[in-house]
């Protein structure tokens, strides 16, 4: 089977304080892969003591934030009172639903950061669900064809990730030390995106590295991946989302009204967006993109 692969170049984005990331979703070519609606690849980067990622208190609605940490140590704090350090090989999953506020800070003694930060859009019937936070220190992991596979989200054969989701989707980390060739079974009802986080990947005649996000439509039941030595891939997939979501700053919504209300509630200090204990910096929302345009 020949699969038409779309090559998308992640764009550079600045999180402030010199912390640069490569944003693979959304882009002009693809806004979502299944319910995955945002993908930032941060690092790998080394920094001076006290550096790294420091994101002040900011709100979310109608999405789940999904953090996959490869290197470093990051402290998550939220308005539900959760305080959780995430370490390599672990996932943090925060369900915003009706509304949540959080901060993220590299630990003072951390010197490195390498992470994928993703958002999952909530479907309309879960858009306003109560907020929640999960930390998953251990995920299903196995060896296949010289690669180590870690199931971050969804299921793969009989294996199931513990992350609580609301749409059919998958997240998979694949890494190898020596060059390897892997036949990866796929769900033909899913669209997919594969982003090399380290090293490089061949699919057929095409080569992809961390500057190229390989995307393809539903209809494929397996794909042959040829990994160069010391390669790590992030594979995401899902059933195409019924209707594209709206995104503005840290808000996802199924209507402009929902996003306008969230922006107003954040600006006016509505208790929907509670305080984060220990946080000293509260981010200011930029004007909504469709106001004044
Ligand atoms: Mn956030």
How many angstroms is it from 162 CA to the middle of ligand 1?
21
- Over the Cα atoms of the chain, what is R_g? 19
CA gap 250, 265 in Å, rounded: 13
How many angstroms is it from 270 CA to the middle of ligand 1?
18
How many angstroms is it from 7 CA to the middle of ligand 1?
27
Residue 268 resides in a domain: no
CA distances from 293 to 62, 155, 248, 287, 289 (A): 25, 43, 14, 11, 7
**pLDDT tens per residue across span 160-219:** 999 999 999 999 999 999 999 999 999 999 999 999 999 999 999 999 999 999 999 999
Residue 293 has pLDDT above 50, yes or no: no
Domain that holds residue 229: 13-238
Q: Output the domain CATH number for residue 130.
A: 2.60.120.10
Residue 69 resides in a domain: yes
Q: What is the pTM of this model?
A: 0.96
DSSP 218-280: S--SEEEEEEPTTEEEEEEEESPPSSPPEEETTEEESSHHHHHHHHHHHHTT-TTS---TT--
Residue 4 resides in a domain: no
How many angstroms is it from 250 CA to the middle of ligand 1?
7
CA gap 191, 215 in Å, rounded: 8
Residue 183 resides in a domain: yes
Residue 253 resides in a domain: no
**pLDDT tens per residue across span 26-80:** 999 999 999 999 999 999 999 988 888 999 999 999 999 999 999 999 999 999 9
**pLDDT tens per residue across span 245-276:** 999 999 999 999 999 999 999 999 999 999 99
Measured in degrees and rounded to the nearest 5, phi and psi for residue 125 equal -75, -10
How many angstroms is it from 188 CA to the middle of ligand 1?
31
How many angstroms is it from 222 CA to the middle of ligand 1?
33
How many angstroms is it from 76 CA to the middle of ligand 1?
10
Residue 281 resides in a domain: no
| pLDDT reported for residue 292 | 57
Residue 203 resides in a domain: yes
How many angstroms is it from 210 CA to the middle of ligand 1?
23
What average pLDDT does this structure show over 238-248? 94
How many angstroms is it from 232 CA to the middle of ligand 1?
24
Structurally, how many domains does the chain consist of? 1
How many angstroms is it from 119 CA to the middle of ligand 1?
9
Residue 249 resides in a domain: no
């Amino acid at each position: 089977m020949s699969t038409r692969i779309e090559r998308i170049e992640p764009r550079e984005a600045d999180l402030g304080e010199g912390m640069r990331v490569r944003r693979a979703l959304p882009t002009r070519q693809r806004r979502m892969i299944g319910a995955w609606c945002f993908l930032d690849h941060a690092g790998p980067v080394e920094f001076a003591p006290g550096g790294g990622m420091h994101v002040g208190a900011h709100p979310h609605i109608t999405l789940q934030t999904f953090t996959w940490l490869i290197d470093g140590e990051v402290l998550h704090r939220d308005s539900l009172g959760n305080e959780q350090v995430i370490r390599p090989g672990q996932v943090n999953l925060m369900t915003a639903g009706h509304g949540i506020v959080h901060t993220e800070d590299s630990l003072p003694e951390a010197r490195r950061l390498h992470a994928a930060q993703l958002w999952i859009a909530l479907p309309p019937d879960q858009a306003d669900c109560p907020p929640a936070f999960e930390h998953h220190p251990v995920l299903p992991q196995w060896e296949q064809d010289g690669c180590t596979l870690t199931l971050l989200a969804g299921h793969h054969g009989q294996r199931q990730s513990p992350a609580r989701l609301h749409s059919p989707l998958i997240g998979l980390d694949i890494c190898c030390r020596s060059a390897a060739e892997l036949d990866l079974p796929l769900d033909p009802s899913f669209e997919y995106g594969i982003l090399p986080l380290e090293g490089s990947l061949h699919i057929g005649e095409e080569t992809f590295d961390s500057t190229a996000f390989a995307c393809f439509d539903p209809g494929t039941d397996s794909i042959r991946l040829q990994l160069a030595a010391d390669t790590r891939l992030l594979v995401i997939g899902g059933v195409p989302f019924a209707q594209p979501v709206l995104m503005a700053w840290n808000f996802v919504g199924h209507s402009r009204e929902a996003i306008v209300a969230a922006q107003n509630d954040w600006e006016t200090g509505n208790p929907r967006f509670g305080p984060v204990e220990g946080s000293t910096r509260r981010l200011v929302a930029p004007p909504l993109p469709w106001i004044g345009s």
